[in-house]
């Protein structure tokens, strides 16, 4: 198993039309950042404390849980020893914990940020340090067995008792059981618990409370607290997603996180000063989802594209050698749109990060004007990108044929992990409807003469009639305009449909529900048009050498032409595009597929995903797939013995008795 690269892959790399490194630098924001990221990752990859474990797919749930817990604890130690800075922290952790997120990580991901955002100065003093040093381990307990996305529906109660100055945390029903929070089942000894606040006989809605759930001495559950793991899931089984029930558990008044709302010792509720900060945090969090979607799709494309150059199959022409399967147009049609979407989402995520930073600046100066627009965009983008990613990984898996189905490909685990983002942090349909609500509002405002700006400005410019005449369908500007027209028309159509339903006597809520399929589609079209426009602008304005710009331009064309042909009906419906335009788009699409073919491997290489992050025998950088597939299989637990023990127990007596009967 020499370190040679598979000759087919080597040839692909030699023939690329651009310098991969330049594109990598563009994706990660400069050569220095790429170098830094590789260095930090190498610290984890070369660390013997993390090596030696089996492939997670060979482990039982319990082994996996323990192994990742151990790794997580090691990272905490290493972060101190190596002086890993705040900036490099997530890179380091991702590299060290690439086998799956442990329950312990929720302390960093959710528990500490909640204290930071919602705790008073005193509360931060009290809990932040212990949490950061991991002398306490925390979970964020919001969702309940019967309640998810709709936070106001939560049933857990926190009732204030002024006589002892305590809150009584209680789970009144089975459905109020906290369910799903990561790290809650076995790992955490603290949790921030979201509960309906009752004081002076009145309910003030959901608030966060700090509750100790396990003894710091022996880790047994505290009195009145029932805890456990919620059982195995599709993926994420290193994480002890848990349940918690509270039976009149008393906590001091000071354990309510009171940066915003407060309860005075006598039980008086003090309303929070209107805070839009929560929205801003949500915008940020959703931005990270968009980046995760881009990265997951980048990983899946990397695996599938590389393997498609190593794998040879069938014959195109009788007698000739079997071609690389990436030479088949149908294979390109499956994979290149995923590859293009990975780039498109990567740039969309970057836009979100920049906008969030700029809006945080404005908000500090008291200017909240851009928040609503960005919030609506972030909801829709989260939904759109995670949905495309989830389906896209599955396409990549199936495009790898039988081997894609093996855990050796890494794709089943990548899918199972990635798909959870469609439901987590706001279910995708609910997210899309949030965006739709904003769009309809904007449309109505524009009808009454208001000028819209930013990402929704185009809504005021709906062209009611089609633009006739010849079009150059390969022109990015033409494509962007087409997507905007489609979105504007669909928003308008959904809004008018709602009005019609209401005129027929339906309540606003019923009208909304009966138009919600149209509303979702309108919001999707809006987000789609944003992604296309942002991709096109990036390609046109980014500072990069021409060969890189050229390949990015092809990718961008592919992304939008694929979108146009997949949704042809939306463009044809009002005659904005003609049947002939769609035909032209189809032919151009075929041409762009062929054009991208020689650059496909370089385009996935540019994502710069290390083999230790990919976890895929099929997607290895060196393309030595078959030898490693064979080696990997040897490690299967069923191969521990030549003859499996079940043979002696079941098969041998059965076969013998059957032979005797003959």
Residues catalogued as catalytic: 425
353 is in an annotated binding site: no
Asked if residue 630 binds another protein (CB under 8 A), the reply is yes
The first and second tokens of residue 619, run together, are 């997607």
- Judged by CB, which is closer to another protein: 60, or 540? 60
Asked if residue 514 binds another protein (CB under 8 A), the reply is yes
Contact letters for another protein, residues 445-464 (x by CB under 8 A): --------------------
The first and second tokens of residue 60, run together, are 């039982």
Binding part of the chain for another protein, among 44-52, 82-90, 439-447, 562-570 by CB under 8 A, reads 562-570
> Can you list the pairs that 130-133 forms with residues at least 24 positions away whose Cβ atoms lie under 8 Å?
131/107, 131/190
Contact 220, 233 (CB under 8 A): no
Contact letters for another protein, residues 365-394 (x by CB under 8 A): -------------------------xx--x
Residues 63-102 that bind another protein (CB under 8 A): 65-66, 69-70, 73, 76
551-566: buried (b, 16+ CB within 10 Å) or exposed (e) per residue?
A: bbbbbbbbbbbbbbee
Q: Say whether 140 sits in a helix, a strand or coil.
A: strand
- Among residues 42, 220, 358, 540, the one that binds another protein under rule CB under 8 A: 220
Shortest distance in whole angstroms from residue 267 CB to another protein: 26
- Judged by CB, which is closer to another protein: 394, or 605? 394
422-to-289, 376, 439, 524 alpha-carbon distances in Å: 10, 17, 22, 14
What is the spatial distance between Cα 484 and Cα 477, in angstroms, rounded to a whole number?
11
- Residue 445's CB is within 10 A of a number of other CB atoms, namely 15
- Judged by CB, which is closer to another protein: 391, or 544? 391
Contact letters for another protein, residues 286-325 (x by CB under 8 A): -------------------------xxxxxxx----x---
194-to-140, 142, 189 alpha-carbon distances in Å: 8, 5, 16
Asked if residue 650 binds another protein (CB under 8 A), the reply is yes
454: left (phi over 0), alpha (psi -120 to 50) or beta: left
182 is in an annotated binding site: yes
Residues 567-586 that bind another protein (CB under 8 A): 567-575, 579, 582-583, 586
Binding part of the chain for another protein, among 336-344, 350-358, 528-536, 639-647 by CB under 8 A, reads 639-647
Q: What is the DSSP letter of 322?
A: P
- Judged by CB, which is closer to another protein: 176, or 538? 176
What is the spatial distance between Cα 361 and Cα 456, in angstroms, rounded to a whole number?
21
Q: Which is nearest to 20 in space by CA: 630, 627, 606?
A: 606
623-657: buried (b, 16+ CB within 10 Å) or exposed (e) per residue?
A: bbbeebbeebeeeeeeeeeeeeeeeeeeeeeeeee
- Judged by CB, which is closer to another protein: 72, or 263? 72
- Judged by CB, which is closer to another protein: 267, or 647? 647
Asked if residue 164 binds another protein (CB under 8 A), the reply is no
Binding part of the chain for another protein, among 232-240, 290-298, 443-451, 552-560 by CB under 8 A, reads 232-240
- Among residues 62, 86, 470, 543, the one that binds another protein under rule CB under 8 A: 62
Asked if residue 330 binds another protein (CB under 8 A), the reply is yes
- Among residues 31, 174, 270, 461, the one that binds another protein under rule CB under 8 A: 174
Q: What is the DSSP letter of 450?
A: P
- Among residues 404, 410, 418, 426, the one that binds another protein under rule CB under 8 A: 404
Which residues carry a binding-site annotation for FAD?
Answer: 143, 182
């Amino acid at each position: 198993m020499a370190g040679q690269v598979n000759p087919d892959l080597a040839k692909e790399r030699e023939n690329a039309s651009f310098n991969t490194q330049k594109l990598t630098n563009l994706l990660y924001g400069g050569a220095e950042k790429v170098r830094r990221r590789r260095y930090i990752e190498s610290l984890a990859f070369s660390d013997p404390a993390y090596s030696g474990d089996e492939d997670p797919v060979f482990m039982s749930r319990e082994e996996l849980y323990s192994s990742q817990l151990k790794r997580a604890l090691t990272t905490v130690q290493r972060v101190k020893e190596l002086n890993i800075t705040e900036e490099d922290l997530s890179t380091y952790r991702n590299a060290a914990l690439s086998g799956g997120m442990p329950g312990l990580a929720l302390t960093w991901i959710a528990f500490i940020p909640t204290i930071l955002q919602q705790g008073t100065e005193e509360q931060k003093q009290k809990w932040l340090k212990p949490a950061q040093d991991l002398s306490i381990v925390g979970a964020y307990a919001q969702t309940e067995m019967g309640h998810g996305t709709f936070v106001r529906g939560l049933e857990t109660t926190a009732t204030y008792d002024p006589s002892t100055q305590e809150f009584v945390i209680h789970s009144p029903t089975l459905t109020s059981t906290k369910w799903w929070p990561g790290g809650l089942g076995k790992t955490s000894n603290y949790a921030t618990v979201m509960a309906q606040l009752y004081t002076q006989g009145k309910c003030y809605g959901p608030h966060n409370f700090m509750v100790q759930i396990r003894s710091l001495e022996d880790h047994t559950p505290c009195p009145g607290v029932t805890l456990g793991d919620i059982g195995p899931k599709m993926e994420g089984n290193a994480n002890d997603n848990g349940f918690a029930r509270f039976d009149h558990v008393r906590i001091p008044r000071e354990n309510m996180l009171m940066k915003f709302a407060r309860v005075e010792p006598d039980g008086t509720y003090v309303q929070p000063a209107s805070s839009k900060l929560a929205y801003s945090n949500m915008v940020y969090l959703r931005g990270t989802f968009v980046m995760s979607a881009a990265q997951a799709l980048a990983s899946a494309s990397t695996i599938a594209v590389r393997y498609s150059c190593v794998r040879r199959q069938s014959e195109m022409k009788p007698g000739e050698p079997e071609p690389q399967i990436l030479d088949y147009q149908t294979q390109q049609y499956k994979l290149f749109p995923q590859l293009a979407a990975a780039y498109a989402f990567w740039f969309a995520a970057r836009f979100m990060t920049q906008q969030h930073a700029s809006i945080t600046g404005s908000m500090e100066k008291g200017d909240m004007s851009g928040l609503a627009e960005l919030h609506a965009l972030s909801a829709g983008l989260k939904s759109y990108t995670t949905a495309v990613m989830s389906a896209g990984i599955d396409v990549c898996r199936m495009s790898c044929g039988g081997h894609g189905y093996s855990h050796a490909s890494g794709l089943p685990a990548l899918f199972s992990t990635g798909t959870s983002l469609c439901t987590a942090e706001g279910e995708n349909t609910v997210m899309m409807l949030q965006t739709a609500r904003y769009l309809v509002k904007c449309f109505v405002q524009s009808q009454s003469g208001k000028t819209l700006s930013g990402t929704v400005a185009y809504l005021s410019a709906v062209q009611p009639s089609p633009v006739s005449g010849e079009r150059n369908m390969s022109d990015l500007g033409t494509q962007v305009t087409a997507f905007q027209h489609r979105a504007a028309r669909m928003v308008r159509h959904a809004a008018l449909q709602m009005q019609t339903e209401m005129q027929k006597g339906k309540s606003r809520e019923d009208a909304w529900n009966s138009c919600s399929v149209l509303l979702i589609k309108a919001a999707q079209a809006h987000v789609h048009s944003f992604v296309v426009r942002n991709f096109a602008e990036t390609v046109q304005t980014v500072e990069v050498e021409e060969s890189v710009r050229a390949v990015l331009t092809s990718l961008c064309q592919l992304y939008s032409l694929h979108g146009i042909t997949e949704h042809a009906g939306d463009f044809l419906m009002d005659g904005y595009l003609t049947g002939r335009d769609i035909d032209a788009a189809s032919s151009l699409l075929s041409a762009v597929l062929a054009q991208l073919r020689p650059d496909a491997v370089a385009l996935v290489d540019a994502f710069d995903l290390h083999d230790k992050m990919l976890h895929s025998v099929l997607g290895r950088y060196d393309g030595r797939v078959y030898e490693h597939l064979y080696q990997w299989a040897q490690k299967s637990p069923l191969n521990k013995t030549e003859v499996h023990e079940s043979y002696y127990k079941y098969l041998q007596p059965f076969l013998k008795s059957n032979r005797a009967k003959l």
